[in-house]
A = this chain, B = another copy of it.
Amino acid sequence: MQTQQTTKTLNGLNTEQMGETIEAIKGNPQIGKFVFRAKNEWLNGGENRSTIKDFYGALKEDDSREEPFVFTNGEPPVLLGNNEGANPVEFLLHGLAGCVTTTFILHASARGVQIHELSTELDGDIDLNGLLGLDDSVTPGYREIRIKMHVKADCSDEELEDLIATAKRRSPVCNTVLRPVPVNIVRAEA
């Protein structure tokens, strides 16, 4: 008689691998240390392009990606561009939406909560007076970002509220936005 082997998944996540990963990091916290990277090249005006491929994590350089991901930043005509791509502040919203969502799904799955639907709508305010340096009392970045989250899940309202609060607190992108994070720019030698 053969033993039947099934992969346990919840919300599309392999919960066995998730449990093993958590135990491994508990045993050796160094396993949880990751370094993510991007390379970007200016093309013209408000157009520039990033390539993203390798990263370090789980004690080694990752080699799972054969081809890099390539993304183009652009600007709309009102911001002196030709819509060559979404613009950088819009890409920030995309990263934020995805990170809050994935963090929500991760913690829900760890608690055994099944999610049926999850979608978000984000908006945030940017005042060009800050970017252009026309008014020093105006911040150049987002003043505030609002996320409307729609969720259908097999859990109580109370648990849902707690999962939303956990996603906000634990999401790496959301936490990076919420906290002051140092950015160090240095000139590369030619």
- How many chain copies? 2
Q: When chains A and B are docked, how far (Å) is the Cα of A145 from the Cα of B177?
A: 13
What residues on B are CB-neighbors of A2 within 8 Å? none
Measured as residues with beta carbon below 8 angstroms from the partner, the interface class of chain A is 35 or more
Please give the distance in Å from A103's CB to the nearest CB on chain B. 7
Interface contact A123-B181, CB-CB below 8 Å:
no
Q: What are 29 A-B contacts defined by CB distance under 8 Å?
A: A12-B46, A31-B128, A32-B129, A38-B97, A40-B97, A41-B118, A48-B97, A48-B102, A57-B78, A62-B78, A75-B102, A80-B106, A88-B95, A88-B172, A90-B95, A91-B92, A96-B183, A100-B185, A106-B132, A139-B175, A139-B179, A140-B171, A141-B178, A144-B183, A144-B184, A146-B184, A148-B186, A148-B187, A177-B183
Indicate whether A93 reaches chain B with its CB closer than 8 angstroms. yes
